[in-house]
Chains A and B, each alone.
Chain A
Amino acid sequence: MYGKGIIKGMGVTLKHFVQTYVEDIKWFGRRYYKPEGIAHRSSKDAKGIFTVQYPEEKLPMPEEFRFIPFLIYDVLEDGTHKDRCTSCGICVKVCPPQCIWIEQTTNPDTGRPVPEPVEFYIDIDICMNCGYCAEYCPFDAIKMDHDYELASYERQFDHIFNKERLSKPAEYYATVRPVNNQLEEAVRAEKAAKKAEREAAKAAKAAEKDAGGESDNGS
């Protein structure tokens, strides 16, 4: 029969249409503007309408979600901030569109680079959110953020983020990426333990040597 295909197709549309209302009744009052409702609408059991009413509703962000990077600082016991960044320049080298600029200084006394950047800029108009800087930074100093609502009225200056604008405390990182943070903390703790061990061994060796030297002198 001509038109059977259309009717069959209309049946599918009707099903979708009805399901929306059935789901509304089933989830009475909890389908919209509630985290569990939003989660349900983007799960495998989602039926009927599935659009999310941004900005009133927002999709939950998975931990790995990445947007413009930020710099991490640790808060020391005396309340001062210590940048984790050592201005080693690896993120500059791996950044595909070359949107990171770092100003490094040298200590005038020793002539060696100071392990903290004087300035750190990211041109967020150019940043392609690739995540390489975070992936390849050896000091866990730069990480990808979850904050994606960055629209502004000005583009010439506001979109070049400086160190101040980029820096966020380590606790913030622990809240946006708890799993990753824990893993990295563990690795860092292990490294620190190893380092302490090595230093202790070195000190012991030095002490031994000193003792040996003394006995040598004595003979």
Chain B
Amino acid sequence: MTEAAPVVQSVLETRFPGVVTPDERKGYEGYIVTKEKLVELATALRDEMGYDFLSSVTAVDYLSEEETNLEVVYHLYKSTGGGSLVLSVQLPRDNPVVDSLVSVYPGADFQEREAYDLMGIRFDKHPDLRRILMWEGFEGHPLRKDWKEAYHNEDTKPFSNRWPDGQIFRSEDKNPYGKNNIYPVGFDPTKWEATEESLLYAGLGKAVGEKGNIETDYLVVNMGPQHPSTHGVFRMAVVLDGETIIALKPVVGYLHRNHEKIGERNTYLHNMPFTDRLDYISSLSNNFGYALAVEKLMGKKGAPSERAEYIRVIMAELTRISNHVWAIGFLLNDLGAFFTPALYAIEERELILDIFEATTGSRMMCNYFRFGGVARDFPEGVLQKIRDLVFERLPRKIDDIDAYLTDNEIVLTRTQGVGILTPEDAIAYSATGPMLRASGVPYDIRRADPYGIYDRFDFDVAVRYHGDCYDRFIIRLDEIRQSIRILEQALDQIPEGSVISGSNPYQVRVPAGESYGRVEGPKGELGFYIVSNGKPHPWRYHVRAPSFINLTAMEKMCIGQKIADVVVILGSIDIVLGETDR
């Protein structure tokens, strides 16, 4: 919450009496809004008070003996920087309907679909309210607390059959395939026809109708789910007029594993290695976000030690570099420069991964952050290796990549002016990270709402102004250079001392309340929304995944472009399906 909170509060209370009440539950800092006036309030907040950026929309199921409410939670920010404004709307369980915010913040589109899919909240006037991560033949809304999955063992971990009389079995032996599925009433999987497909195409149909002077037929092309350029199992249904894109819908969820449900069964500590598997290219930055969210709830007890803060920054910036070189390499792959640039990029990334491996024990699944610090100090020699890279090799190699690619005429013609996203659209669609900054919005959480010790470092927020694929490519080089600057300072200043405050217990005490921890991940704003009720497991654990939300603007960027450019535009967003589908 910002210093401006009292001002906002008085404005809200005078302008909307009876609509907005401060949330008085212990550990909560937002406002409870009556659902009838939500859209009006949001419009006023956006247009008059500067809260133009909707970071996250999610829902919480407060099912307990006393309570049955569902709650929709909105996190609003100003694109000029500052803290959050949290709004929640309480809805009855038997009829959870609320007006959609898509008309005010188009970036709410996918997030509301997700809340509908997983929590069963219906958003009135949403343009295309369908399931997004699960399929149509799926029974129930899995994030509801009364929903149990097929291989259900126990509500929370640790499971009691593992110890002290551990009897080993595999879940599939107890519950063989075929018996592990529940279908909606009257649903027969053998007679299933892809109804969701017709819904998908109906969603695309809205574009059909405005014909030019030549009578042409529209063509629907499905790119993916298996496609060399979709960066994983990801599909785009595209409507074409000739070669020009008229409408496009991303179809996601092929890699969905309900990370959030798993997270609500886990203890706080258990979740750390699971966050590695979100954006598996940059696991340390995922660790960072999650640790921040939990530490916020823990208060003073969670404050990391001084050396740990520096190690965190060093690791997070190395992660950013390795992610960005990878993104650049594979963007070039998408352009058809098959694997030479990618391998030059991977060469640098390998050296960074060597450092991760030597320190954390794993190249990609680092599981390195703990509440109040990090798991272990740098082993001997590693700090020197990082110095060698940062002061010597990386600047040289980044210049190399720059010389190799930035003036290349093929790159220029394929990317300049392609997939333009205006700054207004970028903010409205909740785009974050390099995508937002390449559109001319200098918004970087490290500067706008600093976390950790980022306020101590001198660096520039990289920003480019054309909002096209070329700028989204070049801004990653800019960001690498800024990361190197931060690293140089951090390496010079890193103090000696312990890498964790406290004793690193395996059961952490997290007081009741809600918290939203967000970091500037390499791909954009990565947020963790956690509701604790004081038990060893988070009551609600939500991930605001930048890869997922950045895709909301995909259609906007593609309309009017040629089909061959779709691949480049997608590559320039830089998504990872582990995070998109969660």
Contacts and interface: CB of A to CB of B under 8 A. Distances in A.
User: Are A and B subunits of one complex?
Assistant: yes
Interface of A: 2-6, 8-9, 11-13, 16, 42, 44, 46, 50, 62-66, 87, 89-90, 92-96, 98, 100-104, 113, 119-121, 123, 128-132, 135-136, 144, 156, 160, 179
Given A13-B340, A119-B166, A96 B400 contact: no
A129 B362 contact: yes
A92 B158 contact: yes
Contact of A6 (B165, B361, B410): B410
A98 B375 CA distance: 21
A89 B164 contact: yes
B149 interface: no
Contacts of A46: 347, 351
Given A42-B351, A66-B362, A136-B506, A92 B163 contact: yes
Nearest to A94: B506
Contact of B266 (A4, A8, A96, A100): A96
B407 interface: yes
B352 to A, nearest CB: 11
Contacts of B163: 87, 89, 92-93, 100-102, 104
Contacts of B375: 131, 135
Given A6-B408, A92-B158, A144 B361 contact: yes
B162 A102 contact: yes
B365 A9 contact: no
Contact of A44 (B157, B385, B404): B385
Interface in B265-320: 266, 269-274
Contacts of A96: 157, 266, 269-274
Contact of A90 (B159, B388, B506): B506
Contact of A128 (B365, B408, B409): B365
Q: What are the 10 A-B residue pairs with the smallest beta carbon separation, nearest first?
A: A101-B166, A5-B407, A104-B164, A130-B273, A62-B358, A66-B361, A96-B270, A12-B404, A92-B163, A89-B163
A103 B153 CA distance: 19
A64 B166 contact: no
Nearest to B536: A93
Contacts of A123: 168, 170
A98 to B, nearest CB: 5
B162 A50 contact: no
Contact of B166 (A16, A42, A102, A144): A102
Nearest to A64: B361
Given A4-B409, A5-B408, A130-B367, 9 more contacts: A5-B411, A12-B404, A50-B347, A64-B358, A94-B269, A98-B159, A100-B163, A103-B165, A129-B362
B412 A5 contact: yes
A121 B347 CA distance: 39
Q: How large is the interface on B (under 10, 10 to 19, 20 to 34, 35 or more residues)?
A: 35 or more
B376 interface: yes
B162 A9 contact: no
B359 interface: yes
A113 B410 contact: no
Per DSSP, chain A at the interface is mixed
Contacts of A42: 350-351, 354
B229 interface: no
Interface string B375-391: 11001100001001100
Contacts of B165: 103-104
B404 to A, nearest CB: 4
B190 interface: no
Contacts of B410: 6
B196 interface: no
Contacts of A64: 357-361, 376, 379
B392 A44 contact: yes
Contact of B379 (A62, A90, A103, A135): A62
B162 A98 contact: yes
Contacts of B380: 179
A94 B269 CA distance: 8
A215 to B, nearest CB: 45
A65 B162 contact: no
A97 to B, nearest CB: 9
B414 interface: no
B168 A44 contact: no
Given A44-B389, A64-B376, A92-B158, A102 B269 contact: no
Contacts of B404: 8-9, 12-13
B459 interface: no
Given A42-B350, A93-B158, A87 B164 contact: yes
B350 A98 contact: no
A198 B411 CA distance: 74
B7 interface: no
A113 B157 contact: no
Interface string B485-498: 00000000000000
A98 B158 contact: yes
Most chain B Cβ neighbours within 10 Å, of A16, A64, A87, A101 = A64
Nearest to B354: A42
A100 to B, nearest CB: 6
Nearest to B392: A44
B345 to A, nearest CB: 12
Contacts of B153: 98
Contacts of A135: 375, 504
Nearest to A42: B354
Contacts of B393: 44
Nearest to A122: B168
Interface in B467-508: 504, 506
A135 B505 CA distance: 10
B168 A8 contact: no
Contacts of B157: 96, 98
A62 B382 CA distance: 10
A200 to B, nearest CB: 28
